Each structure stands twice: as C-alpha cells, then as structure tokens.
Amino acid sequence: MEAGEDNWNPYRADAERIGLPGYDFWLFDSRIVVKFVIDGDDETLGVHVLEDPETVVHACQVWDLAWHHAVPTAEFQRQERSQS
C-alpha cells in the first residue's frame, strides 16, 4: 500500500444483489463525482465530471453501501485469479 492508499472491491454478485449501479466512478471530497464511460471491451472512452447535489449525494450513499460489502483489493484479486 503506497501513499496511504487503501483500495477495496465488492464482488460483482454482491454488487448486483445490493443494487449498486453498473458503472464506475470516483468520488472526491464528497463534492465531485467523476463517472467513467466504458465501452463493451472495458476500454475507458472518457469521463463525466459532475458536481450537482443530487448526483453527489447519491454517489456518497452508493460508496457507503459498497464499502460495507467490499474486501481488500489483494484478497479480491486472489479470489478472482483462483476462479479463472
């Protein structure tokens, strides 16, 4: 873990079960949402930078929900590799 970064991931089955959105985003300081636009080949086509209160509040709620169902990235990667 570098620079204090602590990454966690929810498993897809858990994400679907608890109703997480089907897109990836970053949340900055609970004020800015960067929503990724990704094509069918998992290539990032661009991003949308959003700051409207409704989107930000929703992203904060989604982040909190996802965090409670996530596992450390290293564990997530080990599990994903073992299923390949």
CB of 8 closer than 8 Å to CB of 67 = yes
Q: How confident is the model at residue 4 (pLDDT cuts 50, 70, 90)?
A: low
pLDDT tens digits along 37-63: 999 999 999 999 999 999 999 999 999
SS3 14: helix
What are the structure tokens assigned to 24, written together?
């990836």
Q: How confident is the model at residue 77 (pLDDT cuts 50, 70, 90)?
A: confident
pLDDT value at 34 more than 90: yes
Rounded distance, CA 60 to CA 19, Å? 14
pLDDT value at 82 more than 70: yes
CA dist list (Å): 14 to 39, 41, 44, 67: 22, 22, 23, 11
Is the full-model pTM beyond 0.85? no
Domain ranges of the chain: 8-75
